A = this chain, B = another copy of it.
């Protein structure tokens, strides 16, 4: 058995006025707990260092850029990496990345147990919209502030396992999971900031939203025979509620650990990476069962196109 103790470090609300330093202090407190539990890897949410700023409409790019990190680690985040090295714990967390060339990405990183960054992912499936939308109950401007990720869906060998990352809305897209599954992924780390209500449909509340999130994560894990660690930014940020419900899912798709609160909370599970092998060798042995000659539209067609109406019987 190849076992790793995986921690999911849910964060509660981060308001607009909360400094990165105050957030890092909270993350270090969760890492202290993780060290006591013997965690090998701790996963934090998407955009872990700040409030979920894409809910705020901004026209001044200089203001937008204040939410981004120009270096990683930087002065505010260095203590996280120091903790990794001192305690032999790997971490993954999300942040808004501003590159030296001026590109903006919704990014997550993965470190080894020395605090070295071994993997970087930039969010590919950006939800939301570009311009202020008067039809929505609140804004979700990820398509305004970020470019789609340009690194593809990678996996990395880390701590003896094949690890991948995705971010928030990516989890709803089976392509995300399959791209990593085709690279033999054994553990997917993902963070999210998910409003508790659908901004375009008030009747879709937390029950439905949690169901959709878990359904997508559980199906992705089962259908690719991988562990999944899904970590929320939760709580009410400046009046805007975010869904909690961080979970760890096994390669059969079953939830094995679940956060109980809307605040800072560590859940953990001892994950046997070899438990991925049964699925990968039997029902989801892709080499024996996939039929790529019939999947052409998946990579040749972006949008849906229904057959012409006149075909109707």
**Residues of chain A whose beta carbon lies under 8 Å from any beta carbon of chain B:** 112, 116, 118, 124-127, 148-149, 152-153, 155-160, 162, 169, 172-175, 177-179, 181-184, 200-201, 208, 211-212, 215-216, 218-219, 222-223, 252-254, 278, 280, 282-292, 294-307, 309, 311-313
With contacts A303-B287, A313-B116 taken as known, whether A178 is within 8 angstroms of B298 at the C-beta atoms is yes
A205 CB to closest chain B CB (Å) equals 12
On chain B, the residues within 8 Å of A285 by CB distance are 303
Rounded to whole angstroms, the CA-CA distance of A162 and B311 in the bound complex is 10
On chain B, the residues within 8 Å of A218 by CB distance are 215, 219
Cβ-neighbour of A302 out of B127, B287, B300 (below 8 A) = B287
On chain B, the residues within 8 Å of A118 by CB distance are 313
On chain B, the residues within 8 Å of A287 by CB distance are 302-304
A178 and chain B: residue at smallest CB distance: B298
With contacts A211-B254, A295-B299 taken as known, whether A313 is within 8 angstroms of B159 at the C-beta atoms is yes
Rounded to whole angstroms, the CA-CA distance of A119 and B172 in the bound complex is 30
- Identical chains bound together, number: 2
On chain B, the residues within 8 Å of A125 by CB distance are 289-291
Rounded to whole angstroms, the CA-CA distance of A291 and B125 in the bound complex is 7
5 nearest interchain CB pairs? A287-B303, A184-B306, A174-B174, A219-B219, A112-B313
Determine if A174 and B219 form an interchain contact, defined as CB atoms under 8 angstroms apart: yes
A285 and chain B: residue at smallest CB distance: B303
On chain B, the residues within 8 Å of A291 by CB distance are 124-125, 148
Determine if B290 and A200 form an interchain contact, defined as CB atoms under 8 angstroms apart: no
On chain B, the residues within 8 Å of A295 by CB distance are 175, 179, 298-299
Determine if A175 and B178 form an interchain contact, defined as CB atoms under 8 angstroms apart: yes
Rounded to whole angstroms, the CA-CA distance of A106 and B302 in the bound complex is 30
Determine if B298 and A286 form an interchain contact, defined as CB atoms under 8 angstroms apart: no
Determine if B222 and A215 form an interchain contact, defined as CB atoms under 8 angstroms apart: yes
Rounded to whole angstroms, the CA-CA distance of A169 and B283 in the bound complex is 9
